[in-house]
C-alpha cells in the first residue's frame, strides 16, 4: 500500500522520506537574511510538521544527509540537513537553548511534494526585499509549537 503522506525529496532523489501527517501544521514564507542566503532567493519557504512519526529519519536516509548547525539570534540552534549528493537543503531541526529538540521539524518547501503557499504566513518581513501582504509578522511567531525562528 502506498504511503498517503507527502514525500520529501531532494533534487537528485537520494533523499526521500514521507512526512508525519498529510498536511503541515503551518506554512511560512520567511524573509530573514539567513533564509534568503540559504535559498539564494528573496525568501525561503517552509512547512512545519510534527517530529513525532518522522524523526529520527531512517538510517539509510540519515547516512545520505549532511548537517550544518547554526545558532539563531534568539538562541535557538538549528540543525540544517542537506543532501550530500546534490546539496539541496531538505529540513531544519530546531533545538531550544538548553539543547532539547522542539517537537517540530521544518521541511523546506521546494523539497515537499504538493507544497502550497495557500494560507502561508510571511515572517521576518522587516528584512523583506519584495512586497509582503498586510498583517505579516515583522519577526517570527511567538509562543507556539509551530514557531519557526530562523534569524
Query: What's the grid cell of residue 45?
Result: 519557504
Note the helical H segments in the chain.
33-39, 59-62
Position 24 confidence tier, pLDDT thresholds 50, 70, 90: very high
Q: What pLDDT score was predicted for residue 148?
A: 46
Q: How many CB atoms lie within 10 A of CB 105?
A: 27
Query: What's the grid cell of residue 90?
Result: 531538505
Task: Please list, in sequence order, all residues whose beta carbon lies within 8 angstroms of the beta carbon of residue 71, skipping any fewer than 6 positions away.
Answer: 77, 78
What pLDDT digit, counting tens, does each position of 37-88 carry? Answer: 999 999 999 999 999 999 999 999 999 999 999 998 778 899 999 999 999 9
Q: pTM of this prediction?
A: 0.89
All domains of the chain, ordered by start, with CATH? 12-127 (2.170.150)
The answer to whether residue 151 scores a pLDDT higher than 70 is no
HSE, side-chain direction, 13 A CA sphere, residue 92: 28
Amino acid at each position: 500500500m502506498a504511503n498517503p503522506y507527502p514525500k520529501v525529496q531532494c533534487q537528485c532523489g537520494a533523499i526521500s522520506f514521507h512526512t508525519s501527517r498529510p498536511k503541515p501544521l503551518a506554512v511560512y514564507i520567511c524573509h530573514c537574511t539567513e533564509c534568503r542566503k540559504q535559498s539564494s532567493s528573496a525568501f525561503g519557504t517552509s512547512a512545519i510538521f510534527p517530529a513525532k512519526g518522522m524523526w529520527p529519519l531512517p538510517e539509510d536516509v540519515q547516512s545520505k544527509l549532511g548537517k550544518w548547525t547554526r545558532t539563531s539570534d534568539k538562541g535557538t540552534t538549528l540543525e540544517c540537513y542537506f543532501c550530500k549528493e546534490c546539496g539541496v537543503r531538505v529540513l531544519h531541526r530546531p533545538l531550544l537553548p538548553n539543547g532539547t529538540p522542539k517537537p517540530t521539524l521544518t521541511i523546506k518547501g521546494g523539497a515537499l511534494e504538493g507544497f502550497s503557499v495557500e494560507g502561508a504566513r510571511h515572517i521576518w518581513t522587516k528584512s523583506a526585499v519584495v512586497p509582503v501582504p498586510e498583517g505579516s509578522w515583522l519577526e517570527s511567531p511567538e509562543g507556539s509549537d509551530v514557531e519557526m525562528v530562523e534569524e
